[in-house]
Amino acid sequence: MGPFSLKYIVFMASIAVYFYRQNVANFIISNGFFREIINHHPGKCRVLNGIKGSEDMHQLSNGKVIITSDIGNIADPTNQLPNHKGRLFTIDLESVAKKLIELELPKELEASNFFPHGISVLERPGKFPLVYVINHPRLSSDRVEKLEWDINTNKLKYLKSFTDPKFTFINDLVVYEEDVFYVTVFLRSTSRFMREIEGTFKLPLGYVLLYNHGETSIQADGLSMPNGINLSNDKKLLYLAEGGSYNIQIFKRHGIEKLELIQNVPLHTMPDNISVDKNGDLLIGCHPKLIDVYFHLHDNSLISPSQILRVKIQNDRAQSVTEIFADNGNLVKASTVAVVNKNALLIGTIGNELLLCDIHQDYLP
């Protein structure tokens, strides 16, 4: 359709309308046009090869991490490359080798139509863990795949797929118990055009959905691009990354179907996925320049800075926010998630590198 594709026409038109609602200075500042990123790493870092993207990950209590890879063209799921191959990987952060291993997918999940996004794992005493992973299959509605992970053979067994009309554009999930999980609906709109509008305007149309044995209910609504979600180690608190508002929300759980908002934590950067470490503190993958990550979503060769924040949790409240990693995008582009184990920090991205960093003793405050 000429030199300008639909996505760029929509983007520029959206900016024009946005200026009527917001002043120019606020638009420039909030989207990080002139934000300078100063590199600082916790120690020596190296890129792990053999993986195409590492958008989300979950660390088990034994140090094994499961990672989603090759989410595909998340900006336009209907326009995917023909050689796409969705994959899941694992790495043991407590091993000396820290070798990246690809998991064997079940035959029910065709790799060419597997677009893994958010992931959560339910550990079971004496049994193999259950893996729940969001899938954006081509020409089909979003769904959650339920798998069993044989951690001895690294094979995955297909168990079930969960679908629901409210799964319009789901992003992340966290499992409470078997077949009960919270999931974030990042964008409510179903058409690509309206998703561009909703995302560019940061419209508060997203929500948190509870899936409870086949029944769904909205637990938190009026959210701007809700992204990462997780539970505290004791499952009493729910943590939510509201990407469009640049904050973390902390909810207290009252039973399964009631959430009470107890704290908003401003981050002044766009949060993506949330991990909870053994101490109960949060690690958050962030995008400090929203304008850069927008174009990176359409072309992952473009530079987009990376940032990892640590939120100290005490007495059910966030006590401090510390930046523990930052990179201008030359080493690692568009960080989405991080986990820590002893002296190792693992950082995932939308569609590029997987980064492993050494952590100097006493680096984490």
Residue set of the binding site for Ca(2+): 55-56, 119, 171-172, 227, 272-273
CB atoms within 10 A of CB 139: 8
Rounded to whole angstroms, the Cα distance separating 174 from 239 reads 10
> Contact, 226 vs 240, CB < 8 A?
yes
Of 40, 41, 58, 117, the catalytic one is 117
Distance of alpha carbon 160 from alpha carbon 149, whole angstroms: 13
- CA 338 to the chain's CA centroid: 10
CB contact at 8 A, 329 and 352: no
- Residue 37 DSSP one-character state: P
Q: Which 3 state secondary structure label does DSSP give 52? A: coil
User: CA distances (Å), 48 to each of 53, 117, 343, 353, 365, in order?
Assistant: 11, 19, 17, 7, 26
- Residue 20's Cβ-count burial label (10 Å; 0-12, 13-18, 19+) is exposed
What contacts 190, CB < 8 A, 6 or more positions away? 168, 169
Distance CA 284, CA 313 (A): 13
Of the candidates 338, 312, 314, 313, the one whose C-alpha atom is nearest the C-alpha of residue 325 is 338
Residue in 194, 204, 197, 172 with CA at minimum distance from that of residue 185: 172
117 is catalytic: yes
| 3-state secondary structure (DSSP) of residue 26 | helix
Tokens of 217: 């209910």
Determine phi and psi for 204, rounding to 5 degrees: -80, 70
Query: How far apart are the C-alpha atoms of 77 and 85, rounded to whole Å?
Result: 14
Cα 365 → chain centroid: 24
Supply the DSSP symbol for 105.
P
Torsion of CA 25, 28, 34, 36, to 10 degrees: 100
Catalytic center residues: 117
